[in-house]
């Protein structure tokens, strides 16, 4: 703010006229940008002018109003008042110190101007001097908690060491070519899913058509792994002691839509954009063995394309509670689901088929101002809780909302019904330097609670990494069902030992980042963050990250495929070894992909060729062929590159 104020004072005193009139809005603009950027750093660890924030704004923008409180507005007004007082004082000083004459108007003498600038710069000197005197400590803090330092403002210094995608790096170019070469994989998975058939193994003690158990899947907002305790969730805690307890469970994404996708399809969330082309596995697939299906939860699923798999045209029964208070909506959703399982009211039927329902509870969300349970005090907040953006009172209310959730869903469970309860994603209260969810692939935003109990569910603790994609295969095995394509689901049944070499993934909603977790990880690392996206044919290595999502020290330097063993292993496990040529020269691959009949593949191939610089001339023959491509966009793109090459050759 101070440079903007100095600009106002000096320009108005020396120049006057139009410059003076321009100085005031300039001061306001610079100060506003500074304030907004600093607030974003404190709350989200993202700069205002960054691609990461742009993606995050699209993801969480509709919910930002939930975080505007009277306290926050009061703080903002107080800061504006302080800023106005500072500007008025400096303006008054300049006015007093200036001499007046008809010829010269209001003008500062050089000595007085120097004195005024010195006075205005004193706060800057006072702030910087301690940092300079203790430079070693300052440098360490800049690298570890950069969002607490003025030098981070407006991108002067990176606010985080989170791995960033460099789309024009050699490794990213090699990865994109590999993606283009395997562009048919998503389409193949969709076709296999459409052909999927489920049958019942009659020899299984649970699985016969006369005794198939009802199934309930409860997905709770923001149900972090660390809040499933005997005090916060006493009922679930007790039930979990007689069932499956997943101690290292991760959502398939750090947002609701990605988390739900993994639960309901048994597929990793990098395939989320293909949801509208496939049946919903955990519901519609089970219809093949006689299940009636239902979905019960709060309305508003048209956000983030969730209506593609949470809508009345997908399920036999679908009930959306009104968007009123979360507490009321959750009560209505559970009451409706209980009627569904009891076959009463609107759900009464003469045919007694088994039933499966997904129940979505919303109350552990937002700022928890609604009246809920009040069993937790501030003493229950972790002693090491430190946050610049949320208070201990916020976390206390969060714990109470979890207790309410545990109480309100309890009527859904009985000894004859298979049940799984998990969170759609985690929630940050500033532990990772951020708030909410969807803003990072940190531990608090990705790890969630997950328990299962009921007929066919053993009493066991699963201490390996598990994921939402494991729930569908587990449910199928629990009822004695067999899938016609055993390799289609990307999860594994938790009724069997979890393979030690498996790698699970969690996708970010605000970027093309993928968090990879394995049992053989780099020391001091939480996981590995790479970049993978079918929509933009992005594949690039990243770095090992710690629990807050920042790169660990041994992962510094430019990412290369030689150092990304875990990502290559994940690709080989998930894509059946079709990415074996990562790290090789991309030219030969581009010669093949540019001749594809898919316009998206050809357009991306031309874009990549344009990044090759002088090597572009090697593709003139292929580009000439593209001039006859049916899609006008391809013809235009090829013509532009050929035109550039022709001009370069003439030069």
pLDDT, tens digit (0-9, with 9 covering 90-100), for 117-174: 676 666 667 666 776 777 766 665 565 555 555 555 555 555 667 888 887 788 999 9
pLDDT score of 552: 86
Q: Which two tokens stand for residue 277?
A: 């082309």
Cα–Cα dist 72/619, whole Å:
57
Is 504 part of a structural domain of the chain? Answer: no
Torsion sign (Cα): 427, 432, 438, 439: positive
3-class state of residue 466 by DSSP: strand
Cα–Cα dist 491/469, whole Å:
5
Q: Of 348, 353, 357, which is closest to residue 210 (Cα–Cα)?
A: 353
Q: Of 570, 601, 511, 490, which is closest to residue 177 (Cα–Cα)?
A: 601
Cα–Cα dist 429/416, whole Å:
38
Residue 519 sits in the same domain as residue 402: no
Angle at 116 between CA 110 and CA 119, to 5 degrees: 145
Cα–Cα dist 319/326, whole Å:
15
Is 208 part of a structural domain of the chain? Answer: no
Q: Which two tokens stand for residue 44?
A: 């989200």
Tokens 């739900």 correspond to 260
Residue 474 sits in the same domain as residue 543: no
Residue 270 sits in the same domain as residue 409: yes
pLDDT score of 209: 47
Place 560 in a pLDDT band, splitting at 50, 70 and 90: confident
pLDDT tens digit string along 570-593? 998 888 777 877 878 888 889 999
Q: Which of 389-398, 413-422, 458-467, 563-572 has the lowest mean pLDDT?
A: 389-398
- Return the beta strands (E) in 114-227 as ranges: 198-200, 214-220
Is 385 part of a structural domain of the chain? Answer: no
pLDDT tens digit string along 520-550? 877 789 999 999 999 889 999 999 999 988 8
Residue 466 sits in the same domain as residue 601: no
Residue 286 sits in the same domain as residue 247: yes
Q: Of 449, 447, 462, which is closest to residue 493 (Cα–Cα)?
A: 462
Residue 244 sits in the same domain as residue 301: yes
Cα–Cα dist 249/238, whole Å:
19
Q: Of 431, 408, 292, which is closest to residue 361 (Cα–Cα)?
A: 408
Is 379 part of a structural domain of the chain? Answer: no
Residue 361 sits in the same domain as residue 218: yes
Q: Determine the structural domain holding residue 455 and report its residue range.
A: 213-222+232-371+398-426+438-498
Which burial class, exposed, middle or buried, applies to 37 when counting CB atoms under 10 A from its CB (0-12, 13-18, 19+)? buried
Residue 463 sits in the same domain as residue 352: yes
Cα–Cα separations (whole angstroms), residue 9 to 33, 35, 108, 229:
19, 20, 10, 59
Residue 417 sits in the same domain as residue 492: yes
Residue 138 sits in the same domain as residue 241: no
Cα–Cα dist 115/125, whole Å:
15
Is 197 part of a structural domain of the chain? Answer: no
Close Cβ partners of 258 (under 8 Å, ≥ 6 residues apart): 251, 252, 269, 272, 425, 507, 509
Cα–Cα dist 555/559, whole Å:
8
Cβ atoms within 10 Å of 467's Cβ, excluding its own? 29
User: Can you tell me the mean pLDDT for 278-288?
Assistant: 86
pTM of the model: 0.81
Cα–Cα dist 517/442, whole Å:
12
pLDDT score of 627: 92
Answer yes or no: are the C-beta atoms of 248 and 466 closer than 8 Å: yes
Residue 139 sits in the same domain as residue 241: no
The CATH number of residue 615's host domain is 1.25.10
Q: Which residue has the higher pLDDT, 283 or 544?
A: 544
Is 109 part of a structural domain of the chain? Answer: yes
Cα–Cα dist 396/429, whole Å:
11
Q: Which of 5-14, 305-314, 353-362, 373-382 has the lowest mean pLDDT?
A: 5-14
The CATH number of residue 339's host domain is 3.40.720.10
Residue 415 sits in the same domain as residue 275: yes
Is 632 part of a structural domain of the chain? Answer: yes
3-class state of residue 632 by DSSP: helix
């Amino acid at each position: 703010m101070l440079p903007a104020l100095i600009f106002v004072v000096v320009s108005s005193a020396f120049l006057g006229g139009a410059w003076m009139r321009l100085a005031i809005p300039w001061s306001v603009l610079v100060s506003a940008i500074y304030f907004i950027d600093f607030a974003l750093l404190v709350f989200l660890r993202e700069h205002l002018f960054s691609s990461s924030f742009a993606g995050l704004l699209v993801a969480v923008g509709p919910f930002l109003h939930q975080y505007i409180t009277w306290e926050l507005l009061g703080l903002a007004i107080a800061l504006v008042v302080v800023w106005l007082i500072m500007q008025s004082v400096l303006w008054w000083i300049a006015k007093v110190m200036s001499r007046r004459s008809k010829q010269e108007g209001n003008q500062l003498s050089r000595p007085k101007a120097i004195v005024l600038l010195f006075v205005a710069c004193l706060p800057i000197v006072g702030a910087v001097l301690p940092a300079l005197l203790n430079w070693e400590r300052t440098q360490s803090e800049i690298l570890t908690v950069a969002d607490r330092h003025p030098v981070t403002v407006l991108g002067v210094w990176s606010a985080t060491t989170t791995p960033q995608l460099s789309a024009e790096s050699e490794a990213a170019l090699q990865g994109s070519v590999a993606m283009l070469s395997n562009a048919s994989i998503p389409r193949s998975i969709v076709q296999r899913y459409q052909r999927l058939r489920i049958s019942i193994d009659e020899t299984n003690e649970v699985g016969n058509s006369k005794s198939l158990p009802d199934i309930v899947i409860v997905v709770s907002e923001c149900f972090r792994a660390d809040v499933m305790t005997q005090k916060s969730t006493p009922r679930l805690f007790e039930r979990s002691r007689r069932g499956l307890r997943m101690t290292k469970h991760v959502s398939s994404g750090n947002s609701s839509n990605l988390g739900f996708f993994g639960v309901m399809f048994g597929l990793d969330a990098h395939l989320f954009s293909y949801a509208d082309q496939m049946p919903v596995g955990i519901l519609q697939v089970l219809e093949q063995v006689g299940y009636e299906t239902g979905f019960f939860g709060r309305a508003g699923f048209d956000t983030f394309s969730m209506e593609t798999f949470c809508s009345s045209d997908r399920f036999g029964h679908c009930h959306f509670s009104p968007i009123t208070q979360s507490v009321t909506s959750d009560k209505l959703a559970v009451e409706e689901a209980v009627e569904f399982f009891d076959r009463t009211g609107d759900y009464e039927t003469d045919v007694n088929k088994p039933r499966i329902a997904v129940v979505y509870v919303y109350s552990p969300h937002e700022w928890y101002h609604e009246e809920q349970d009040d069993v937790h005090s501030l003493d229950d907040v972790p002693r090491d809780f430190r946050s610049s953006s949320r208070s201990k009172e916020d976390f206390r209310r969060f714990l109470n909302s979890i207790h309410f959730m545990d109480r309100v869903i309890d009527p859904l469970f009985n000894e004859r019904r298979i049940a799984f309860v998990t969170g759609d994603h985690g929630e940050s209260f500033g532990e990772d330097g951020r708030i909410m969810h969807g803003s990072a692939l940190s531990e608090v935003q990705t790890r969630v609670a997950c328990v299962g109990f009921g007929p066919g569910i053993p009493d066991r603790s699963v201490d390996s990494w598990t994921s939402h994609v494991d729930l569908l295969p587990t449910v199928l095995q629990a009822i004695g069902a067999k899938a016609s394509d055993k390799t289609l689901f990307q999860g594994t049944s938790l009724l069997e030992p979890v393979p030690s070499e498996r790698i699970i993934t969690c996708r970010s909603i605000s970027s093309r980042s993928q968090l990879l977790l394995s049992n053989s990880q780099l020391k001091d690392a939480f996981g590995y963050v790479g970049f993978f996206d079918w929509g933009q044919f992005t594949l690039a290595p990243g770095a090992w990250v710690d629990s807050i999502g920042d790169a660990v020290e041994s992962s510094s330097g430019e990412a290369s495929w030689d150092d990304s063993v875990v990502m290559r292993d994940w690709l080989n496990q998930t894509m059946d070894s079709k990415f074996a040529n990562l790290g090789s020269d991309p030219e030969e691959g581009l010669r093949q992909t540019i001749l594809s009949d898919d316009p998206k593949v050809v357009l991306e191939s031309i874009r990549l060729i344009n990044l090759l610089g002088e090597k572009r001339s090697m593709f003139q023959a292929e580009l000439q062929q593209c001039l006859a491509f049916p899609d006008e966009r391809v013809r235009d793109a090829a013509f532009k590159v050929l035109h550039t090459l022709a001009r370069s050759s003439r030069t």
